Amino acid sequence: MKIINYKYLYLGFVILISLGNSSAISGASRWGADYFPNIPLTTHEGKKVRFFDDLIKDKVVVINFIYTHCGDSCPLETAQLTKVQKIMGDRVGKDVFFYSITIDPKNDTADVLKEYRKRFKAKWTFLTGKKEDIILLRKKLGLYIDGIQDGSNNHNVSLIIGNQTTGRWMKRSPFENPHVLADQIGNWLTGWKAAPKPKNYANAPTLRNIPRGEQMYRTRCATCHTLDGNELVGALGPDLLGVTERRDKQWLFNWLKAPDQMLKKKDPIAMALFTKYNNLVMPNMRLNQQEARALFDYISDETRRLSGESKKMQSKISNNLGNLTTR
């Protein structure tokens, strides 16, 4: 677990950087209305809102900062979020709220944002406000770099994903695979959201200590793979139940380390899978040996657990049948 940008780690603010290094950090977090500035903002429709009260309170949110005449990174970010929005469907605006806030309010009026939003077929809320307020907000969210920020429109390209109810926040690269992002936003955060609401952060329930392999699997693999022997029609990737038994160990390590390289070398198994799964290349997640091992351990454990369960079921069924015949 590597945390960079120490400078931007504000009290209790949990920032997880890049999938390659992610893991949940547990710990008491107790910031609410008193931590986040309740700054006034205006939506692309000209509606006046308050940041804390109207945008994030009791919600799962995705926040990024943009400006409309930014040539490179913002359009990419917006396009990427559009993909995430598409994957998440009607959960956006219901379970999960996306906000793009301009860092250039002088040029980005509500009307300009409205136009921009339309161009990207974005369905979420774009916001403008007072420059100082927005800088304060970016500082609080850990998305502000002194020096290169002021005066120029360079900005720290990042997304913040958060769940105000549980006080979990993390920083994400918007260039993450959109399926992975959608999965994290949708399942992981709303999973927490669904938990009973603690009276205050100090009483927040402690989460089960999830083993590393399981956690990695959930955050990095579950978007494309199932692990229960029930592969869905049109699944993005193969079901992984029993994969540690059906494939050579070295092959699996090589695969996880660099699937793209295996395809480049025309490994026959990889090529066959690639064709079968619609020519989708599994992303190279730069997993190291240790991470790969943790993942394989988890997959093996699940395989054993589930096959144990199906054996139990079978013996139950045959016992029942036995009872029937002896009766």
259 part of the interface to ligand HEC, by CB under 6 A = yes
Residues 6+ apart with CB under 8 A from 1: 21, 22, 23, 25
Residue 313, token pair as written in the block: 């079921």
Residue 141, token pair as written in the block: 């969210």
Q: Among residues 9, 1, 289, which one has the least CA distance to residue 143?
A: 9
145 part of the interface to ligand HEC, by CB under 6 A = no
What is the x/- site pattern for ligand HEC, positions 163-202, by CB under 6 A?
--------------x-xx----------------------
For residues 85 and 173, what is the distance between their CA atoms, to the nearest angstrom?
16
Question: Which of 195, 236, 258, 306 is close enough to bind ligand HEC by CB under 6 A?
Answer: 236
Residue 214, token pair as written in the block: 């399981």
Number of amino acids touching ligand HEC (CB under 6 A):
28
| C-alpha separations of 229 from 81, 183, 239 in Å | 31, 20, 6
**33 or 280: whose CB is closer to ligand HEC?**
280
**200 or 278: whose CB is closer to ligand HEC?**
278
**139 or 247: whose CB is closer to ligand HEC?**
247
237 part of the interface to ligand HEC, by CB under 6 A = yes
Residue 146, token pair as written in the block: 């002194």
| C-alpha separations of 150 from 40, 153, 211, 313 in Å | 21, 7, 42, 65
Question: Which of 62, 110, 181, 224 is close enough to bind ligand HEC by CB under 6 A?
Answer: 224
Binding positions for ligand HEC, 308-327, rule CB under 6 A: none
Residue 107, token pair as written in the block: 């040029």
**55 or 256: whose CB is closer to ligand HEC?**
256
Question: Do 144 and 103 touch, CB atoms closer than 8 A?
Answer: no
Q: How far is the CB of 244 from ligand HEC (least distance, A)?
A: 8
* Contacting positions for ligand HEC (CB under 6 A): 177, 179-180, 216, 220-221, 223-225, 236-238, 240, 243, 247, 252, 255-256, 259, 273-274, 277, 280-283, 285, 295
